[in-house]
Amino acid sequence: MSVPLGDADPAAVASYVARAVREGVIDDARIAGERLRLTASRATFWQNPRPWLKAPASGGMPLRYTLTNGHRHPVRPPSPAGEIYARYMPQVGMTFSLRTVDIDTHAQLFSDWMNLDRVAHFWDQRGTLDEHAAYLAERLADAHMHPMIGYFDDTPFGYFEFYWAKEDRLAPFYDAHDYDRGLHLLIGDSRFQSAGKLHAWWSGVLHYMFVDEPRTQRLVGEPRIDHVRHIAYMHRLGFYTLKEFDFPHKRAALTVMERETFFDTFRLP
């Protein structure tokens, strides 16, 4: 990209360039004749949170430590309400968004999804509306979790439960870093499991997890080991399986995605 310099004051141009580089808008700028040529790498462009985040980023939280169940970890920011992330997905012609769970709005939908046979097979949490509303309330009150509903345009299609790994039940099973982040999910509306929509919402979910907190260098998952298709798809996305291990309730694969891998190689349309 290039812009005309015109009669711009050289000192003002230098100040603009320095600010743009510092804020992660561009990588470099050079004068070419009477124009200023601006360059930004793919990774720089996609790591800038401002076009995508609709709520304050977790990355704005100063680093302070606390203890939870014997785990020392950073104090986590409160989960904002409403729409958190949104991005238009040209490959499906719809906007993908993540919205914080609202119990009045989402509890019945969540309960219906949890009682689907294909969801219950992996989540094993069939129950009543009251039980599922209590589950969501517990997640909303837990500082290390952020429960959200995924939408395409105005259609809710899935539940996404983001968590900080350092103080999670996963932490004893690997060397968790301060800002490692994980995810539990279910897709309630099967219309959104086609190849194009699948890639679109995965693209949005993973992108959100990295741009929300620039100190997050790894994403982790712990799918049940017999969820073979899910694990295979995660590998295609760029995750790798670090190891297999035993939770009290399941044997799981510990899957990992590195920040550099995501921004250097992931297809973000």
User: Which residue numbers are catalytic?
Assistant: 222
Q: Which residues contact 189 (CB under 8 A, 6 or more apart)?
A: 155, 156, 157, 158
Q: Which amino acid is at 139?
A: R
Contact of 84 with 100, CB cutoff 8 Å: yes
Catalogue the E-assigned strands of 115-250: 145-152, 155-164, 181-187, 218-221, 240-246
Q: Which amino acid is at 47?
A: Q
DSSP state of 224: B
Q: What are φ and ψ of residue 45, in 5° steps?
A: -60, -50
